[in-house]
């Protein structure tokens, strides 16, 4: 029987272990009791005492005042939330708080959205009885940071910012210094926001109930016309954003607390990096190349030009001389239309997307082992897991909101394993950091598997009932030469053994991986071994387990789901399978090829050998971001028709024949699918910039131009069409997605799934597949001449080619790409911090500024490619994953020297 | 900022008292040592150094150092007079003693004499109420203070300073 | 009868050999032969109450200690003696360090703590040396360290210095401080007995409480419980200070009358210069001040004794509390407003700043008291003070709020006329005192 407590004499059923405040909020709404230090995403703290209520053990018995936020309810308690005594108490406390708070509400930034103002009004303060006294009114504002601002004269010492920084983001930048009345918030060693280690996530600002911490966009101000909820366009976490709009322009962004994905948190990209959307550099007219110049054109002229060229190439050379690269930044509907255009209108399977250069090995590897190339579980499962393993991912930079959750897990002291060549932020908190040599994931995972088997930690029942191929697999693992693997990986075998035992012996263990797994010549092999690890330990099919790729771009999951890949159509159905082929032909009412098309790297090769004459690229800056720049640029330049759909004149757009001005996520409707398969609605916040069109509209219009008629573009009808052909979208409807979206597979009743493979795998039994480690061809061929390994990475502040983030104040935080170099290596080459370093590879060379760091081991370097000034991909190779053709960004053989020009200057100076 | 060999030994001894992973517990004892090693006060460099010793964030040191009244975050004189002025000491004339020291040294509460010898730091109850009025001077208490006794203490400090020079 | 300070006068008692010669570690010998639970039982039987101020039965506190499998437990000795008027623990540690260590050893054994800390206020720097010297001696003689006296029980005791923060006498703030953090009290539950030091089950006891375990083991819980009166069993250390002839630490049986304590030659020996008694704060600065006419006799006219029950007779209206036994006496020339102001300044200085009623309220109480004391007060300020203290009391995370509120409340309750006089006589208030309250007791009946 459920126990009860009485509120003003009336019984209410208790949830186990709940606090008085939670009971009151549950039954009387979120404003049941006024509070100041309480926040939806923070632990109870009990410092403001405004939430105090009277409690008694018997009806009308003697009462005691307690803070409702942290006091658990004893069953049978009598609660009087608004007794006269309590009301007077609240009034007095708030009055005390107001004695040290400026009463300048009318001119305050948060006027109308201030919790102190609300609470003061609610408790009925009419005057402050205290004489003038010492206060903190003279504390100066801190406006040093590109985004964050403080005005601590308004601080009410509720600690919410400190707790948000600690409990939500885990950055520990803010704290309380001093004692008593002198207690005050500090950033770092009492420095400015700009000089602190703040990562600008904005959690403190959002948590602050007053205007003591805010941001340059005044996101807590009520000066806006409306707030539109949409989904972030940066990484695969898929944060929901509340975007404030005033007279058609975007004012600011906050993170909704009721978002399942991000629960009121987001990162500086989501929260602050939106100013690119109306940047002066935005393309606003279609451009057609005339010789070396671009000439502005009308949409009609551009469509005519393209349609004519495509028709000519199709008829003269055949449809397979045309290819398209869709964008994982675009919506599901747009991606669906791109592949439909290529398949049903052009008649080729030459359609790929940037999933190729990030998670194609994940899709392939997981399809082969589990049958489904997507995350098996959800991020919320972190609440239920006992051990995490993060391989080849730097989530605190790449996937900041999930990263913060992983970091909180590691900080809590629960077993956490990080496998990464770099000492990432997460690695610093992890129980085990296996800092392997780049390119040896397979060797390391084989070591872990070896120890799991040799220690007898396999989940025998699971293996027997749910998998196949284990005996062969086991034999191959037992044959591994541990001495050899220890040497190859450069990781102490005991450490590997301990990590393996931690993973295998946890009740629930969950793995996460990123591009440090996939962007290797053995990317697909690594993914399969991660899947093997999950199966051998039985970590599949329930809460808190599974294999969870951290998908790179906001909709990279969706782009593949929608069929923007050359071997599978919408819904991952094999285009060479006669049954599916005819299904697609029937559905599109068109003749379709039954053979696999080109993957992106194959497109370059085909272009160079004359087998590809036209390419249509949507929102991808391959000239800057694809490896081996010379090779890519040469291929693109050889095309007869190169169409680029873009927001900005990127390095790739500069090479195009036709540039079409597209619009950003803030200017369109549609859906994105995040890394945990959650299909979420993207809602138009502002009208498209004049002259621009959404990718979906462009696709519909070009299809119409080339003979396939559609309705006026709207994502809802496209989504209906998708639901008819993609099996796992069966029950998806535009209206039915609601605020928080749904995780596929969505059955016909509209029910989604947080966990996959609960009772059986997609293809029945899970398949154990083994692979031995193999040295990367790059190192075999070039390792002698180029003895260092450079592994590429990302920063928190910038996104990929940086076309968007470089056009926001993020560029004031991180201004350039740098080269991370170990102190000993730097010393060996007489390189000082900040010196320019010439990095050479078999492909080319770049000059980049050195940053001496213990983040990398000796012999390993690391850098980013966010800035076109450096063009780091001049040196990366064309080697790629043996199966999925994902490029090997993570292992590049290079040599370094102090840059001559700089060196000369230094000597002269 | 560097600790002497002897103090470093003490620091390691203190850190070793706590179970694995709980080394942060050593923070306050080590800050005491750091303050002794740094002329009686804690500057940011010293605090950063302590953070590194304990493998904690600098802010974890700073927030703690500013909380406890025995840590000085600004330079202090060679001899710090911490004269108690709470209830029982007040009943026994601590106000007069404080006034006498102010007049004699020509400084106010919180100030340091220009020769850098003396700082007068007002103190709240130091747990010597039966021996009031009293002050803390370095590691020890000076109790049952009278004006004469204050004179003697000041002379003693001056003599010590002269000797050490 | 003296149980704790019996041997305090013996030359060299702070050293092991002498302490041992005078019966030291005999209680430990006895205890180590008992089962831990039997020791807890003895302490329960003794009726020993926490000597730090709250007076919670020690044996009961011990029995609340959670004992989850595989999780170490800790005993922490609270030597952060900081309540104005209190200096008994200092005396005990400085002169009888082995008594405390013996008590700690027995208690650690009873509770299963292999790692025990003495958290001592930072200002008692020289006592750290005394304690560490004694710990080293105890270790050399096999009373600490591994396999103590062949029992297989291991125990280390470390002395940890605080750094100047009254709040760290509150047990959860103490634990935070011991963990190397700011001394911000924790919200409860969970209580330290379940999640204490490093979130492990922990018992925190005052120095005197733990030292009292030694005589309890020596004479037995039953015999201990028969000393004193009612629920105030055993002996209590009283730190006497203020306007008395013989300030110092006294060990009393709790059936001694307050009047005798003040006027008898054995204890305070009366008030200097034959002055009259004005008021007394008998349990450390945070307990209510009582005017002389309510001190020797309760409101009902009964003799008031130095024990928990008798001192609190009449509640806050006419009584006070035993508290930590910090006994502060005010003579007829003392100004209650000024004295209360220094206490308010103390609590304002010591507020950690975590919860708003205390952070802001202690500041305002001090500011308003200062205004009144310096002749800048208004009549309405007295009501405002009353209002603030009422909103702090019982409404903060830790008892510091209460500790700050009670002295102000009691001062206004009993000496309102003196506050009003300050307001109506701003000039005089700064040069002379109000003098005796009209209800103060004339000279004592006990002969000086």
- Say what the pTM is: 0.91
Mutate to test the interface with B, among C82, C196, C338, C342 (most CBs of B within 10 A): C342
Size of interface A-C (CB pairs under 8 A): 97
- How does pLDDT run across C86-109, given as a tens digit for each residue? 999 999 999 999 999 999 999 999
If asked whether residues A30 and A71 sit together in one domain, one would say: yes
Report the 10 Å Cβ neighbour count for A13: 12
Q: Is residue A128 part of a domain?
A: no
Tell me what percent of the residues of chain C surpass a pLDDT of 70. Answer: 97
If asked whether residues A584 and A656 sit together in one domain, one would say: yes
If asked whether residues A368 and A428 sit together in one domain, one would say: yes
User: To the nearest whole number, what is the mean pLDDT of chain C?
Assistant: 93
Return the residue matching tokens 């009932």: A465
pLDDT at A870: 84
From CA A875, how far away is CA A630, in angstroms rounded?
9
Q: Is residue A758 part of a domain?
A: no
When pLDDT is averaged across residues A286-303 and rounded to a whole number, the result is 96
Interchain CB distance below 8 Å, C241 and B68: no
Q: How confident is the model at residue A425 (pLDDT cuts 50, 70, 90)?
A: very high
pLDDT at C447: 46
- How does pLDDT run across B107-136, given as a tens digit for each residue? 999 999 999 999 999 899 999 999 999 999
CATH of residue A35's domain is 3.10.20.740
Report the 10 Å Cβ neighbour count for B12: 11
Interchain CB distance below 8 Å, A177 and B47: no
On the question of pLDDT at A906 being above 70, the answer is no
In angstroms, the Cα distances linking A626 to A579, A843, A890, C368 are 35, 13, 12, 71
* Among candidate residues C265, C301, C259, the one with its CA nearest the CA of residue C280: C259
- Residues ≥6 apart with Cβ < 8 Å to A410: A388, A416, A426, A429, A430, A431
CA–CA min distance B47, chain A (Å): 9
On the question of pLDDT at A905 being above 50, the answer is no
- How does pLDDT run across A748-770, given as a tens digit for each residue? 999 999 999 999 998 899 999 99
Q: Is residue A127 part of a domain?
A: no
Q: How confident is the model at residue A711 (pLDDT cuts 50, 70, 90)?
A: confident
pLDDT at C438: 59
Residue B122 touches partner C, C-beta closer than 8 Å: no
From CA A149, how far away is CA A143, in angstroms rounded?
5
Closest Cβ–Cβ partner in A49, A64, A176 for C357 = A49
If asked whether residues A175 and A90 sit together in one domain, one would say: no
Residue pair B108/B147 in contact (Cβ under 8 Å)? The answer is: no
From CA C435, how far away is CA A344, in angstroms rounded?
104
CATH of residue A302's domain is 3.40.50.740
On the question of pLDDT at A297 being above 60, the answer is yes
Residue pair A513/A527 in contact (Cβ under 8 Å)? The answer is: yes
Domains of chain C: 16-226 (3.40.50.11540), 237-331 (3.10.20.600), 336-431 (1.20.1440.230)
Report the b/e string of A453-469 with b at 16+ CB within 10 A: beeebbbeebbeebbeb
Mutate to test the interface with B, among C86, C119, C123 (most CBs of B within 10 A): C123
Q: Kindly list the residues from chain C whose CB atom is less than 8 angstroms away from the CB atom of residue B143.
A: none
Sheet of C290-291, strand order = C248-253, C235-242, C326-331, C277-281, C290-291
In the numeric block, which tokens belong to residue B157? 């400090």
From CA B148, how far away is CA B138, in angstroms rounded?
20
Q: Neighbouring chains of C at 3+ CB pairs within 8 Å?
A: A, B
If asked whether residues A524 and A397 sit together in one domain, one would say: yes
On the question of pLDDT at A532 being above 90, the answer is yes
Residue pair A85/A52 in contact (Cβ under 8 Å)? The answer is: no
E-assigned strand segments in A629-702: 641-646, 658-661, 670-673, 678-682
- How does pLDDT run across A358-411, given as a tens digit for each residue? 888 999 999 999 999 999 999 999 999 999 999 999 999 999 999 999 999 999
Closest Cβ–Cβ partner in B21, B62, B69 for A177 = B62
- How does pLDDT run across A861-892, given as a tens digit for each residue? 999 988 888 888 889 888 988 888 899 999 99
Q: How confident is the model at residue A189 (pLDDT cuts 50, 70, 90)?
A: confident
Partners of C326 in beta bridges = C239
Task: Give chain B's residues under pLDDT 50.
Answer: none
In angstroms, the Cα distances linking A17 to A23, A51, A74, A351 are 10, 18, 9, 54
- Residue at a domain's end among A489, A514, A549: A549
CATH of residue A432's domain is 3.40.228.10
Report the b/e string of A315-331 with b at 16+ CB within 10 A: eebebbbbbbbbbbbbb
Residue A178 touches partner B, C-beta closer than 8 Å: yes
Report the 10 Å Cβ neighbour count for C11: 7
* Among candidate residues B95, B24, B112, the one with its CA nearest the CA of residue B63: B24
CATH of residue A792's domain is 2.40.40.20
Residue A177 touches partner B, C-beta closer than 8 Å: yes
CA–CA min distance B133, chain C (Å): 10
In the numeric block, which tokens belong to residue C410? 């009691």
From CA C356, how far away is CA C296, in angstroms rounded?
38
- In the Cβ-directed half-sphere of A856, how many Cα atoms lie within 13 Å? 25
CA–CA min distance C158, chain B (Å): 8
On the question of pLDDT at A903 being above 70, the answer is no
When pLDDT is averaged across residues C383-408 and rounded to a whole number, the result is 92
When pLDDT is averaged across residues C161-172 and rounded to a whole number, the result is 96
Q: Is residue A108 part of a domain?
A: no
Q: Which residue has the higher pLDDT, C6 or C436?
A: C6
Peptide bond into C189 cis (omega under 30): yes
Q: Kindly list the residues from chain C whose CB atom is less than 8 angstroms away from the CB atom of residue A93.
A: 356-357, 391, 395
Q: How confident is the model at residue A127 (pLDDT cuts 50, 70, 90)?
A: confident
Tell me what percent of the residues of chain A surpass a pLDDT of 70. Answer: 99
From CA C293, how far away is CA C333, in angstroms rounded?
16
Q: Kindly list the residues from chain B whose CB atom is less than 8 angstroms away from the CB atom of residue A173.
A: 59
- Print the domain residue range for A442: 360-549
Closest Cβ–Cβ partner in A49, A100, A157 for C395 = A49
On the question of pLDDT at A100 being above 50, the answer is yes
From CA C175, how far away is CA A404, in angstroms rounded?
28
CA–CA min distance C412, chain A (Å): 18
If asked whether residues A624 and A739 sit together in one domain, one would say: yes
pLDDT at A552: 84
In the numeric block, which tokens belong to residue C153? 């029980």
Kindly report each contact of residues C35-42 with a partner whose C-beta sits within 8 Å and lies 24 or more positions away, as own/partner. Answer: C36/C109, C36/C110, C36/C111, C36/C112, C37/C110, C39/C106, C39/C107, C39/C109, C39/C110, C39/C217, C40/C110, C40/C111, C41/C221, C42/C216, C42/C217, C42/C220, C42/C221
Q: In degrees rounded to 5, what are phi and psi of residue A427?
A: -60, -35
Q: How confident is the model at residue C442 (pLDDT cuts 50, 70, 90)?
A: low
When pLDDT is averaged across residues A771-776 and rounded to a whole number, the result is 94
- In the Cβ-directed half-sphere of A102, how many Cα atoms lie within 13 Å? 20
Alpha helices by DSSP H, A380-492: 395-398, 400-411, 425-429, 441-454, 460-466, 470-478, 482-489
Domains of chain B: 5-65 (1.10.10), 79-164 (3.40.30.10)
If asked whether residues A589 and A737 sit together in one domain, one would say: yes
From CA A549, how far away is CA A511, in angstroms rounded?
8
From CA C266, how far away is CA A622, in angstroms rounded?
95
From CA C360, how far away is CA C344, in angstroms rounded?
12
If asked whether residues A252 and A206 sit together in one domain, one would say: yes
If asked whether residues A365 and A345 sit together in one domain, one would say: no
Q: At what angle do helices C336-350 and C400-424 cross, to 10 degrees?
A: 150
Residue B58 touches partner A, C-beta closer than 8 Å: yes
Residue pair A662/A646 in contact (Cβ under 8 Å)? The answer is: yes
* Among candidate residues C152, C123, C120, C114, the one with its CA nearest the CA of residue C134: C120
CA–CA min distance A413, chain B (Å): 10
Interchain CB distance below 8 Å, A100 and C360: yes
Nearest-Å Rg of the Cα atoms of chain A is 29
pLDDT at C448: 39
* Among candidate residues A896, A904, A875, the one with its CA nearest the CA of residue A824: A896
Interchain CB distance below 8 Å, B44 and A178: no
* Among candidate residues A886, A743, A719, the one with its CA nearest the CA of residue A375: A743
- Residue at a domain's end among A98, A127, A151: A98
Partners of A54 in beta bridges = A65, A80
From CA C416, how far away is CA C423, in angstroms rounded?
11
Report the 10 Å Cβ neighbour count for A847: 15
Return the residue matching tokens 């770099």: A422
Residue pair C45/C180 in contact (Cβ under 8 Å)? The answer is: no
Interchain CB distance below 8 Å, C391 and A178: no
pLDDT at C444: 52
If asked whether residues A627 and A689 sit together in one domain, one would say: yes
If asked whether residues A717 and A837 sit together in one domain, one would say: no
Helix, strand, or coil (residue C384): helix
- Total of domains in chain A: 5
On the question of pLDDT at A500 being above 70, the answer is yes
Q: Kindly list the residues from chain C whose CB atom is less than 8 angstroms away from the CB atom of residue B124.
A: 84, 166, 345-346, 349-350
If asked whether residues A144 and A175 sit together in one domain, one would say: yes
Q: What is the H or E stretch that residue A312 is in?
A: helix A299-317
User: To the nearest whole number, what is the mean pLDDT of chain B?
Assistant: 94
- Cα dihedral C106, C108, C112, C116 in deg (nearest 10): -160
pLDDT at A907: 35
N-to-C CA span, chain C = 22
Q: Is residue A461 part of a domain?
A: yes
Mutate to test the interface with B, among C84, C331, C341 (most CBs of B within 10 A): C84
Burial of A160 (0-12, 13-18, 19+ CB in 10 A): buried
pLDDT at A2: 77
User: To the nearest whole number, what is the mean pLDDT of chain A?
Assistant: 93
In the numeric block, which tokens belong to residue A612? 């590809």
Q: Neighbouring chains of A at 3+ CB pairs within 8 Å?
A: B, C
Report the b/e string of C170-189 with b at 16+ CB within 10 A: bbbbbbbbbbbbbbbbbbbe
Q: Is residue A465 part of a domain?
A: yes
- Residue at a domain's end among A251, A276, A301: A276
Instruction: Write down the ipTM of this complex.
Output: 0.96
Q: Kindly list the residues from chain B whose CB atom is less than 8 angstroms away from the CB atom of residue A177.
A: 62-63, 66-67
């Amino acid at each position: 029987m459920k126990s009860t407590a009485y509120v003003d004499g009336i019984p209410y059923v208790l949830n186990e272990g709940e606090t008085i405040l939670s009971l009151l909020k549950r039954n009387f709404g979120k404003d049941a009791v006024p509070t100041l230090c309480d926040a939806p995403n923070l632990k109870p703290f009990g410092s403001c005492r405004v939430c105090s209520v009277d409690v008694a053990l018997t009806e009308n018995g003697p009462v005691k005042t307690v803070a409702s936020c942290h006091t658990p309810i004893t069953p049978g308690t009598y609660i009087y939330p608004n007794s006269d005594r309590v009301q007077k108490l609240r009034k007095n406390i708030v009055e005390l708080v107001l004695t040290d708070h400026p009463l300048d509400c009318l001119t305050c930034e948060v006027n109308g959205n201030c919790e102190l103002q609300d609470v003061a009004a609610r408790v009925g303060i009419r005057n402050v009885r205290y004489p003038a006294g010492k206060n903190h009114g003279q504390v100066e504002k801190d406006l040093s940071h590109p985004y964050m601002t403080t005005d601590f004269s308004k601080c009410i010492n509720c600690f919410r910012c400190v707790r948000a920084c600690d409990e939500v983001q885990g950055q520990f930048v803010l704290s309380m210094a001093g004692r008593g009345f002198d207690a005050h918030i500090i950033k770092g060693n009492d420095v400015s926001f700009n000089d602190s280690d703040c990562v600008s996530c904005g959690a403190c600002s959002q948590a602050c109930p007053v205007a003591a911490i805010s941001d340059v966009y005044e996101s807590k101000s009520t000066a806006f016309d409306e707030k539109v909820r949409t989904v972030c366009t940066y990484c695969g976490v898929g944060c929901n954003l509340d975007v404030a709009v005033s007279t058609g322009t975007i004012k600011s962004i906050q993170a909704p607390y009721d978002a399942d994905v991000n629960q009121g948190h987001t990162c500086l990209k989501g929260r602050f990096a939106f100013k690119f959307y109306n940047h002066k550099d935005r393309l606003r007219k279609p451009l057609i190349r005339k010789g070396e110049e671009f000439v502005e054109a009308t949409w009609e002229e551009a469509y005519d030009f393209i349609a004519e060229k495509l028709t000519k190439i199709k008829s003269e050379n055949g449809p397979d001389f045309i290819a398209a690269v869709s964008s994982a930044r675009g919506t599901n509907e747009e991606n669906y239309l791109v592949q439909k255009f290529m398949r049903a209108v052009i008649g080729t399977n030459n359609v790929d997307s940037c999933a190729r250069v990030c998670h194609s090995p994940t899709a392939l590897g997981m399809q082969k082992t589990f049958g489904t190339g997507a995350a098996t579980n959800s991020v919320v499962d972190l609440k239920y897991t006992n051990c995490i393993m993060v391989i080849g991912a730097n989530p605190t930079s790449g996937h900041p909101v999930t990263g913060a959750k992983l970091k909180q897990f590691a900080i809590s002291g629960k077993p956490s394993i990080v496998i990464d060549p770099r000492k990432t932020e997460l690695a610093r908190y992890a129980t085990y950091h296996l800092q392997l040599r780049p390119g040896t994931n397979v060797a390391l995972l084989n070591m872990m598997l070896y120890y799991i088997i040799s220690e007898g930690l396999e989940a025998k029942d699971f293996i027997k009932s749910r998998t196949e191929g284990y005996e062969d697999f086991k034999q191959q693992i037992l044959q591994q030469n541990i001495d050899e693997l220890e040497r190859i990986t450069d990781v102490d075998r005991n450490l590997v053994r301990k990590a393996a035992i931690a993973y295998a012996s946890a009740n629930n263990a969950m793995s996460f991986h990123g591009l440090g797994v996939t962007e290797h010549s053995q990317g697909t092999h690594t993914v399969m071994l991660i899947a093997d690890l999950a199966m051998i330990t039985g970590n599949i099919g329930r809460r808190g387990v599974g294999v969870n790729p951290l998908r790179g771009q906001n909709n990279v999951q969706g782009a593949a789901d929608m069929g923007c890949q050359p071997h599978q159509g919408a819904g991952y159905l094999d285009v060479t399978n006669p049954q599916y082929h005819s299904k697609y032909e029937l559905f599109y009412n068109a003749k379709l090829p039954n053979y696999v098309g080109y993957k992106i790297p194959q497109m370059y090769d085909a272009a160079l050998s004359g087998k590809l004459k036209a390419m249509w690229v949507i929102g991808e800056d391959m000239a800057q971001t694809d490896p081996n720049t010379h090779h890519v640029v040469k291929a693109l330049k050889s095309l007869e028709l190169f169409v680029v759909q873009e927001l900005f004149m990127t390095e790739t757009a500069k090479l195009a024949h036709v540039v079409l001005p597209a619009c950003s996520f803030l200017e369109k409707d549609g859906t994105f699918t995040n890394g945990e398969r959650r299909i979420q609605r993207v809602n138009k916040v502002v009208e498209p910039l004049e002259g621009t069109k959404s990718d979906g509209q462009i696709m519909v219009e070009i299809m119409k131009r080339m003979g396939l008629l559609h309705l006026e573009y709207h994502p809802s009808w496209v989504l209906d069409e998708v639901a008819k052909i993609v099996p796992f979208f069966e029950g998806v409807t535009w209206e039915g997605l609601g605020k928080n979206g749904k995780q596929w597979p969505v059955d016909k009743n509209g029910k989604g799934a947080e966990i996959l493979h609960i009772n059986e795998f997609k293809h029945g039994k899970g398949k154990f597949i083994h692979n031995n480690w193999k040295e990367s061809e790059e190192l075999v061929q070039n390792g002698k001449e180029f003895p260092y390994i450079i592994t590429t990475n990302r920063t928190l502040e910038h996104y990929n080619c940086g076309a968007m983030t470089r056009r926001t104040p993020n560029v004031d935080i991180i201004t350039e790409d740098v080269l991370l170099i170990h102190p000993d290596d730097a010393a060996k080459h007489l390189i000082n911090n900040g010196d320019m370093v010439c990095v050479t590879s078999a492909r080319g060379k770049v000059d980049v500024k050195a940053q001496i760091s213990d983040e990398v081991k000796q012999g390993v370097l690391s850098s980013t490619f966010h800035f076109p000034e450096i063009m780091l991909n001049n040196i990366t190779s064309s080697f790629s994953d043996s199966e999925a053709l994902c490029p090997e960004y993570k292992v590049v053989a290079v040599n370094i020297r102090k840059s001559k020009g700089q060196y000369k200057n230094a000597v002269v100076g | 900022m560097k600790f002497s060999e002897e103090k470093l030994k003490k620091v390691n001894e203190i850190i070793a008292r706590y179970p694995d992973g709980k080394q942060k517990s050593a923070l306050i004892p080590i800050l005491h040592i750091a303050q002794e090693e740094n002329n009686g006060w804690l500057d940011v460099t010293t605090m950063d150094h302590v953070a590194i010793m304990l493998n904690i964030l600098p802010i974890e040191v700073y927030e703690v150092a500013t909380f406890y009244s025995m840590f000085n975050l600004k330079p202090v004189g060679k001899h710090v007079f911490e004269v108690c002025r709470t209830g029982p000491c007040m009943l026994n004339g601590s106000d007069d003693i404080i006034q006498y020291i102010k007049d004699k040294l020509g400084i106010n509460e919180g100030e340091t004499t220009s020769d850098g010898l003396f700082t007068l730091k007002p103190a709240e109850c130091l747990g010597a109420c039966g021996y009031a009025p009293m002050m803390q001077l370095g590691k020890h208490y000076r109790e049952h203070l009278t004006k004469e006794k204050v004179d003697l203490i000041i002379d003693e400090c001056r003599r010590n300073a002269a000797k050490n020079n | 009868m003296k149980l704790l300070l019996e041997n305090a006068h013996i030359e060299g008692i702070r050293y092991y050999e002498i302490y041992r010669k005078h019966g030291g570690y005999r209680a430990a010998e006895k205890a180590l032969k008992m089962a831990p639970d039997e020791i807890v039982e003895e302490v329960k039987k003794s009726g020993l109450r926490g000597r730090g101020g709250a007076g919670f039965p020690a044996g009961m506190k011990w029995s609340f200690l959670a004992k989850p499998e595989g999780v170490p437990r800790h005993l922490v000795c609270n030597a952060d003696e900081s309540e104005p008027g209190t200096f008994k623990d200092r005396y005990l540690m400085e002169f009888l360090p082995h008594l405390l260590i013996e008590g700690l050893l027995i208690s650690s054994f009873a509770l299963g703590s292999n790692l025990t800390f003495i958290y001592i206020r930072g200002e008692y720097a020289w006592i750290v040396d005394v304690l560490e010297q004694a710990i080293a001696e105890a270790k050399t003689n096999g009373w600490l360290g591994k396999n103590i006296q062949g029992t297989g029980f291991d125990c280390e005791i470390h002395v940890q210095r605080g750094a100047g923060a009254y709040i760290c006498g509150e047990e959860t703030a103490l634990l935070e401080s011991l963990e190397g953090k700011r001394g911000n009290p924790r919200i409860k539950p969970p209580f330290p007995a379940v999640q204490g030091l490093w979130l492990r089950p922990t018992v925190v006891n005052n120095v005197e409480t733990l030292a009292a375990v030694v005589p309890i083991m020596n004479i037995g819980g039953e015999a201990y419980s028969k000393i004193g009166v009612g629920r105030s069993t055993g002996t209590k250390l009283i730190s006497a200070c203020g306007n008395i002839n013989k300030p110092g630490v006294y060990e009393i049986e709790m059936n001694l009358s307050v009047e005798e304590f003040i006027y008898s030659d054995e204890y305070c020996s009366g008030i200097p210069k034959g002055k009259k008694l004005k008021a007394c704060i008998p349990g450390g600065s945070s307990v209510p001040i009582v005017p002389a006419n309510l001190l020797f006799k309760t409101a009902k006219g009964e003799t008031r004794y130095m024990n928990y029950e008798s001192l609190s007779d009449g509640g806050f209206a006419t009584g006070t509390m035993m508290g930590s036994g910090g006994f502060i006496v005010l003579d007829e020339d003392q100004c209650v407003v000024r004295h209360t102001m220094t206490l308010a300044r103390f609590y304002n200085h010591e507020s950690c700043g975590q919860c708003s009623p205390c952070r802001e309220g202690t500041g305002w109480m001090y500011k308003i008291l200062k205004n009144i004391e310096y002749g800048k007060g208004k009549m309405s300020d007295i009501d405002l003070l009353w209002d603030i203290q009422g909103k702090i009391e019982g409404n903060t995370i830790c008892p510091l709020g209460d500790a700050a509120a009670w002295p102000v409340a009691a001062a206004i309750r009993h000496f309102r006329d003196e506050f009003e006089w300050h307001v109506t006589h701003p000039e005089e208030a700064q040069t002379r005192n109000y003098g005796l309250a009209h209800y103060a007791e004339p000279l004592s009946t006990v002969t000086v």
